[in-house]
Amino acid sequence: MEYFDRAVAIRNTQGSTADTQLALLYLCIGRVHTLAQDFGKAVKMFAMAEDLFIRALGPEDHYMAQ
């Protein structure tokens, strides 16, 4: 998690150009929380990833499940 936290801090300094990479990081962090059975944090990370994907790519992009 330390390395994920570092990566998030770096991506946050890059502005909206890094939204997709930041969303992917949030997905990975959500998976870690899922494996640790911390489902509340996992859902929060997945929601943050979804918001970033929608903002960066639009709701109709292939990243978004229909």
- For position 64, what pLDDT does the model report? 57
Residue 39 forms part of a structural domain: yes
Report if residue 25 sits inside a domain. Answer: yes
Whole-angstrom Cα distance, residue 28 to residue 38?
14
* pLDDT value at residue 58: 80
pLDDT in tens, the chain (66 residues): 999 999 999 998 988 888 999 999 999 999 999 999 999 999 999 999 999 988 888 877 766 554
User: Rounded distance, CA 12 to CA 5, Å?
Assistant: 11
Instruction: Specify the pLDDT at position 22.
Output: 94
Opening angle at CA 66, ends 42 and 19, nearest 5? 55
Give CA–CA dist 58/64, Å, rounded.
8
Domain for residue 63, yes or no?
no
So what's the pLDDT on residue 66?
45
**What is the domain count for the chain?**
1
Quote the domain boundaries for residue 6: 2-11+19-57
Asked whether residue 26 is assigned to any structural domain, the reply reads: yes
Residue 50 lies in a domain: yes
Q: Residue 65 domain-assigned?
A: no
pTM for this structure?
0.84
